[in-house]
Amino acid sequence: MSIKTAVLNGVFTLEIARPEKKNAITIDMYQAMADGLKAAQADAAVRAVLITGQPGIFTSGNDLEDFMKRPPSGQDSPVFQFMQALNGCEKPVVAAVTGAAIGIGTTMLLHCDLVYVADEARLAMPFVSLGLVPEFASSLVVPQLVGRVKAAEKILLGEPFTGVEAVEMGIANAVLPTSEVAPHARRIAERFNALPPGAVRDTKKLLRRAGSEATLQAIQAEAAIFAERLTSPEAREAFSAFFQKRKPDFSQFS
């Protein structure tokens, strides 16, 4: 299975496990992640959720070939089910990030409660370079975290950034050596076993209360434009270049 789930000591672990494809996420994987988060939400024995990838790779983002064959067609599509499940998860979500976290690999972190990254981690949101637009409310949340001009650098230009920068930007809590990231994140997740679950849930709601409606609206607005751009000539050129392993040529577009 490309998505592995397990419950151990009160922690529901959701592991992206497709290293042969750099943990690129398919539609079926999105569905599995959405189902896993819903199961964690419903399981009274689960006190926290831990999202992790493989050693040295969190995720390279969408599997573009799969994504183009089966593009999201509405709010019931697996990718949006995953977004809704993560954004709506009432239990604390901890992320452990090593290696590359590209596209959704970065934007999903915006909806986790505690994020720990490796010193060699590389994050990026290269949507524009693919002829697309940001997703998962990143066009709203990133400017809120770092300001408009810094957000433009990371989203418009798609500039990659390090784990240290992720902490400075308010996306991550701490940078650790690669070998320590997953164990540390698990220890943090297990700390919720000693805390009252109702108080944790209510506090998480309060922490997210101010932006909850705006986040949902941003997800929906981005999704509508994202779907349109998937079939745009610019996106076709970007994807063709990716598969042909060449630089895209956008000079023909105005």
Per residue in 56-98, pLDDT (tens digit) is 999 999 999 998 889 887 788 999 999 999 999 999 999 999 9
Residue 215, C-beta contacts closer than 8 angstroms, at least 6 positions apart: 87, 137, 140, 141, 208
- pLDDT value, residue 196: 98
What are the Cα distances from residue 202, in Å, to 85, 112, 184, 209? 17, 16, 25, 10
In angstroms, the Cα distances linking 111 to 9, 73, 156, 178, 231 are 23, 23, 21, 22, 28
Q: Give how far Cα 45 sits from Cα of 9, 15, 30, 223, Å.
A: 9, 19, 24, 34
- Residue 134's pLDDT is 97
Give the C-alpha separation, 104 to 143, whole Å.
Answer: 17
Instruction: Please write the tens of the pLDDT for every residue from 186-220.
Output: 999 999 999 999 999 999 999 999 888 999 999 99
CA 11 to each of CA 6, 190, 191, 223: distance values in angstroms, whole numbers, following the listed order: 8, 6, 10, 31
- Residue 99: predicted pLDDT: 97
Q: What is the mean pLDDT of residues 13-25?
A: 97
DSSP code, position 53? -
101-115: average pLDDT? 98
pLDDT band at 9 (very low <50, low <70, confident <90, very high): very high
Give the DSSP H or E segment for 241. helix 233-244
- Cβ–Cβ contacts within 10 Å for residue 131, how many? 21
pLDDT in tens, 117-172: 999 999 999 999 999 999 999 999 999 999 999 999 999 999 999 999 999 999 99
CB 82 within 8 A of CB 76: no
Which of 251, 224, 249 is closest to 238 using CA atoms?
Answer: 249
Check: CB of residue 110 under 8 Å from CB of residue 91. Answer: no
